[in-house]
Amino acid sequence: MKKYLIGIFLSCSSAVMFAQNFTSENHFMASKPGYDTITGKRKMVFAVHGNLLYGSDGVNTGFLNNLYRGGFLDSAYIEETANGLLGLNRAGAHYDAGVSFGISLKDSSESMIQFSLRRRFNLSARFSDDAFRLGFQGNTQFKGEEADFSRSGFRAVSWSQLQIGYYTRETKNTYIHVAVSGIAAHTYNEAWVEYGKLFTDGSGTSLDAGAYADFYSSDTSSGSSLRVNGVGLSVDVSWMKMRPLKNGTDYFKIECQDFGFINWNSKTLHRKIDTTVYYQGIDISEMILNPQINANLPSENDFIKNDSSSKFISTYLPAVFRASYTRVIGNKHAIKLSGSMPFWSYALPYGAITYRYTFIKAEAMVSGGIAYGGYAKLQVPLKLYKIFNEKVIVEAGTMNVLSLVSPDQFTGNGLYFKLSYTL
């Protein structure tokens, strides 16, 4: 039983640095931080992990799956999806994979230093229902109407990071964790349309549009996905208070993850667009009778007035602030309430209530609950945790079981996997 509890603590300690996104439940799998002090022996842990999260509060998971796979999207399916959109919609995706190594610094194992190497990608978007229709259906839906795609945009960033963390027992019942990361940034693409409107004449022969927007793109001269186009730093900080009770334990925890920045190099392109255009179409019969009219057709530069420059640019990482309360009842049951607030992304605040059950003889746990927010609406996360041979720990789960069962009815999905080996 002691080795079982030790393994749980070590695995979850290493997971501290993995839990970037607001839906992370890694710490919930821990029974009691500090239980490794029972043995008084030095302990080590090695872990590999990966997780993928994606979703939208306006577009269902089935549509996103088809879009990603390049599947056929017929007009009826697109129209059905568009009819279910909100006035303002959000979408996003997060990918995270890495390896970690941790070792205790004292014989009592109350302190641990950890090293982690991670490869990450984050996409976050915000768009109106008009912007969706323009993108997937064109402007034919707006004859005699004005399409408004103002305050729409997206940001996509990929980076690698080397992280060093320190976990320790501050007092008898208080634990802190601090991690610092050096960042090598690879790609950066961002678009923000502050103002954008398009009016289509009822006959479809003329357009009247106005837009004010900013576009950013990192250096694309190299085809390598690992090219370093920027550098940065980030910090993770967490504080947890344990309160022993008559039949269990309370845990109060607050944490801030990925609080940092990236400085992109001088080859980062910034294109600013500020334009108002009016275009009157040409009758097809006139083009047949007079082929020379093609020479007088307007070019792209006649529509888009832009100012481009390359320069140094600084951006914030998509950070998350999280607070949680966990009530452990006896040896088998636990309930957790958690809330997360994302910063510098278009994600929604995230809240969840989760229940965990421990199979003591089987050395396994299962947790599930209800959540809302982030890049989706209603979600039912599920995670399984199992120990093999007292050293190998396997965790696997999904961010939303509902989307696996009925992707065309629910939003948001994600998969999580982690393999740990303890000594």
Instruction: Provide mean pLDDT across the span 313-321.
Output: 95
pLDDT-based confidence at 172, cuts 50/70/90? confident
- In the predicted structure, residue 195 carries a pLDDT above the cut 50: yes
* Token pair recorded at residue 156: 């996509």
Given this model, what pLDDT does residue 156 score?
Answer: 96
Q: Which of 14-28, 193-207, 209-223, 393-407 has the lowest mean pLDDT?
A: 14-28
How far is residue 315's CA from residue 313's CA, in Å, rounded to a whole number? Answer: 7
What are 119-160's pLDDT values in tens digits? Answer: 999 999 999 999 999 999 888 888 889 999 999 999 999 999
Given this model, what pLDDT does residue 204 score?
Answer: 67
Quick count: other Cβ atoms within 10 Å of Cβ 132? 21
CA 251 to chain CA centroid, Å, is 26
Q: Which is more confident, 42 or 142?
A: 142
What are 240-268's pLDDT values in tens digits? Answer: 999 999 888 899 999 999 999 999 999 99
- In the predicted structure, residue 318 carries a pLDDT above the cut 50: yes
- pTM for the model stands at 0.85
Using alpha carbons, list the distances in angstroms from residue 405 to 294, 370, 379, 385, 410: 53, 16, 12, 21, 9
Q: Which of 58-62, 289-293, 324-328, 388-392 has the lowest mean pLDDT?
A: 289-293
What are 361-377's pLDDT values in tens digits? Answer: 888 999 999 999 999 99
Residues pairing with 421 in the sheet? 46, 392
- In the predicted structure, residue 111 carries a pLDDT above the cut 90: no
pLDDT-based confidence at 105, cuts 50/70/90? confident
pLDDT-based confidence at 215, cuts 50/70/90? very high
Could you tell me which residues come within 8 angstroms of residue 420 by beta carbon, excluding any fewer than 6 positions away? Answer: 7, 10, 11, 14, 45, 46, 47, 392, 393, 394, 395
Given this model, what pLDDT does residue 18 score?
Answer: 33
Given this model, what pLDDT does residue 313 score?
Answer: 95
Say which amino acid occupies 177. H
Q: Which of 23-37, 136-150, 317-331, 374-388 has the lowest mean pLDDT?
A: 23-37
Share above pLDDT 70 across residues of the chain, in percent, rounded to a whole number:
82
* Token pair recorded at residue 309: 């420059």
How far is residue 266's CA from residue 288's CA, in Å, rounded to a whole number? Answer: 49
Fold category of 2-422 in CATH: Porin (2.40.160)
Given this model, what pLDDT does residue 107 score?
Answer: 55
Given this model, what pLDDT does residue 405 score?
Answer: 93
Would you kindly state where each structural domain of the chain is located, as residue ranges?
2-422
Instruction: Provide mean pLDDT across the span 289-300.
Output: 52
Could you tell me which residues come within 8 angstroms of residue 30 by beta carbon, excluding any fewer than 6 positions away? Answer: 8, 9, 12
Given this model, what pLDDT does residue 370 score?
Answer: 96
Start-to-end CA span in the chain (Å):
16
Query: Could you tell me if residue 138 is left (phi over 0), alpha (psi between -120 and 50 degrees) or otherwise beta?
Result: left
- In the predicted structure, residue 407 carries a pLDDT above the cut 50: yes
Encode 248-282: b = buried (16+ Cβ within 10 Å), e = exposed: ebebebebbbbbbbbebbeebbeeebeeeeeeeee
Given this model, what pLDDT does residue 300 score?
Answer: 52
Burial class (CB in 10 A: 0-12, 13-18, 19+), 159: buried
Contact 157, 187 (CB under 8 A): yes
